[in-house]
Copies of this chain bind each other. A is one copy, B any other.
Amino acid sequence: MSASTDTALSATSPDRATLRRLLDAPHEEVRDKVRERLCDLELPPTAERAAMDHATYREQVLSWARQLSAGRATGLGFPTEYGGGGDFTGSLAAFETLAMGDLSLLVKSGVQFGLFAGAIHQLGTTHHHERYLPDALTLELPGCFAMTETGHGSNVQALETTATYDPDADQLVIHTPTRSGRKDYIGNAAEHGRLAVVFAQLEVGGEGHGVHAILVPIRDAAGRARPGVTIEDCGPKAGLNGVDNGRLAFGQVRVPREALLDRFGRITEDGEYESPIEDDDRRFFTMLGTLVQGRVSIAGAGGTAAKTALAIAVRYAERRRQFGPPGTDDEVLLLDYRAHQRRLLPRLARSYALHAVQQELVAWMGESFGPDSDPFDDRRELEAAAAGVKVAATWHATDTIQTCREACGGAGYLAENQLTMLRADTDVFATFEGDNTVLLQLVAKGLLTGYRDQFGDLDPLGMVRFVAEGVWDTVVEKTSARQLVERLVDAVPTRDDDAGLLDREYQVELLRWREEHLLAGAARRLKRGIDDGADPFEVFNDCQDHVLTAARAQIERRLLEAFDGVVRRCEDMQTREVLDRLCSLHALAEIERDRGWFQEHGRLSGERSKSIITTVNRLCEQLRPHAGALVDGFGIPEQLLDAEILGAG
């Protein structure tokens, strides 16, 4: 056991208000307003929402969303001239906080204000903004973001829906050629949507220009489907049943030329296509890039849902007893059991790490999308970072909520204790706004290309193509891989003493070394495959796991550095001491999880690896008395911690 882990933590708990300020910064006011608004809605108890028939629930969610928009809580990120609040980063923090309430309401709002209005704002030009944004922001005009098709979710470049320009009528003809080309899983489509942003292959004058977004009315004011538009209901889902997901198919539906959202590509009055970006791929990814806020939003929401679950499970574990010394009636609190600490506390630590990286990401978004930003800026590094955090946060939500459910036993399975609904509603977060596995590939590709070649697409083979174009040199240059490896061999000694496990520099160096090593190794394998003349798909596929692991390694390093930043920003020494241990727990739990790899690569001896396990145990024990304060720091209003098991025993 490390000498330093033996140092007991001070008996006094960390200061809850300090924790909350640290986590809420720099959007304390916005977050508090959202908390208030949510409490004002007086949401019915979870059990009631869980049992609501879906039609009623959908109407209820629409009405809550209208209440929020009436209070101008939903247009925060939009320009004031269209009824917005002009606070872009604030709107991201607001969305993150909104996830403390009903998650169908969250997603309905995300569809309407983030995706639908966001696409009009980002992909359209002034005449679209003026005509549609005010009504979109008040929910007078409910809309859809119709990108995904039955046959294509991740590979959006291969969408089948077509938008063909008819010069005689000066119209665009929207058409769904096959069953797999139906727009699928589209929020707001089954019941409420009137206008849809439809992504389709644009053809002008017989020439294809790739995927563009077009505004297509799908229902009239009375709610009837427009001629040529076929609408199906996706039916019940695992969760989010207050959102009306549906399918859209278009049979030669005509819209005026102006319906094209034309910021990045327009059709002139003469029927010519023109775009400020010549390359089809590059244009497509510039368009997609403007939508990165969806991923950032979902990452934040997933993080919040995990926090709610932890708050419930930790508090329950502080009151529920189970077994005890024989001959007495005293039973032991669940949270006093090591196995229970092991289930909850490393996940609590990770929640703090994710919160920290999310704060960084939001600030970065502010710089990149601020008033002075250039839409043609290269945002690929930000996009890759957002993808990585989205992956980490949403899988963390799935894993953590599930663990909390099990940690609450049979009570966790009852809707009245909120965990079941959190679990079911967030399940799809790992899939929508980019499938997590595909997003990991995007992260990896960013790493491998050093963000400097042509615009990155989601196609895995693109990665191999980059390699063929000499990426190996890029990687070596970027990371100075070989040299670095040697440097790190010295910097991270394989020592058998246990000193220094709590040293933040040591922890970060281990994660950094893993990242660089995996990256250099993946690049080398790809390069070798191509040099050997192997089939590019085979080359990629043979490395796929390696490549995904490299992406994860980068995310983990980012998480740790971000958490460390929060620790450093904490000025209350008592609180900081606890956060510092929590950060070590986060770091060592990750190193413990991957200790097979670290041993394989000579970074940990067997003995040192074992002492990491011991140290994780010790940290759990030390942090256990502070667990309650740490979940209180999340600032979830009591009213929203809707769990019967936390009521009077």
Name A's B-contacting residues (CB within 8 A).
47, 50-51, 53-54, 148, 151-155, 158, 179-180, 184-185, 234-238, 320-326, 329, 331-332, 336-339, 342, 398, 402, 405-406, 409-410, 412-416, 420, 423-424, 427-428, 430-432, 435-437, 458-462, 465, 536-537, 541-542, 544-545, 548, 592, 594-596, 599-602, 606-607, 609-610, 617, 649
Contact = CB atoms under 8 A, between A and B. Distances in A.
Which has the most chain B C-beta neighbours within 10 Å: A461, A544, A596, A599?
Answer: A596
Contact of A432 (B402, B410, B601): B410
A416 B338 contact: no
Given A541-B337, A600-B609, A606-B602, A237 B413 contact: yes
A341 to B, nearest CB: 9
Contacts of A237: 413-415, 420
B542 A338 contact: yes
B600 A610 contact: yes
A37 to B, nearest CB: 26
A459 B432 CA distance: 44
A606 B536 CA distance: 29
Given A155-B323, A599-B606, A600-B609, 20 more contacts: A51-B54, A154-B409, A155-B322, A158-B329, A184-B410, A236-B415, A237-B415, A238-B413, A238-B423, A324-B537, A325-B461, A325-B537, A337-B544, A339-B548, A398-B402, A409-B435, A424-B424, A595-B599, A599-B599, A600-B610
Contacts of A54: 51
Given A235-B416, A323-B461, A423-B238, A410 B185 contact: yes
Nearest to A644: B235
B410 A323 contact: no
A423 to B, nearest CB: 7
Contacts of A545: 338-339, 342, 617
Contact of A413 (B151, B412, B431, B436): B431
B424 A238 contact: yes
Given A337-B544, A424-B238, A323 B460 contact: yes
A600 B592 CA distance: 12
Contact of A234 (B338, B414, B458, B649): B414
Nearest to A459: B323
The A interface is mostly helix, strand or loop, or mixed, namely helix
Closest 10 CB pairs of A and B: A238-B420, A596-B596, A595-B596, A236-B415, A600-B606, A599-B599, A50-B236, A51-B236, A338-B544, A185-B410
Given A236-B51, A326-B465, A461-B323, A406 B430 contact: yes
A53 B53 contact: yes
Contacts of A592: 596
A338 B431 contact: no
Contacts of A649: 151, 179-180
B431 A412 contact: yes
A595 B592 CA distance: 12
B331 A155 contact: yes
Contacts of A158: 329, 331
A163 B119 CA distance: 67
A595 B598 CA distance: 11
Contacts of A462: 326
Contact of A336 (B152, B437, B541, B607): B541
Nearest to A548: B339
A332 B538 CA distance: 11
Contacts of A435: 409
A235 B413 contact: no
A601 B596 contact: no
Nearest to A395: B406
Contacts of A430: 406
Contacts of A338: 541-542, 544-545
Contacts of A184: 410
Nearest to A329: B158
Nearest to A436: B406
A480 B394 CA distance: 47
Contact of A596 (B179, B602, B609): B609
23 contacts: A47-B236, A51-B235, A151-B321, A154-B322, A154-B409, A155-B331, A235-B414, A236-B414, A238-B424, A325-B537, A326-B461, A326-B462, A337-B544, A398-B402, A406-B431, A409-B431, A410-B431, A542-B617, A599-B600, A600-B609, A600-B610, A601-B606, A602-B606
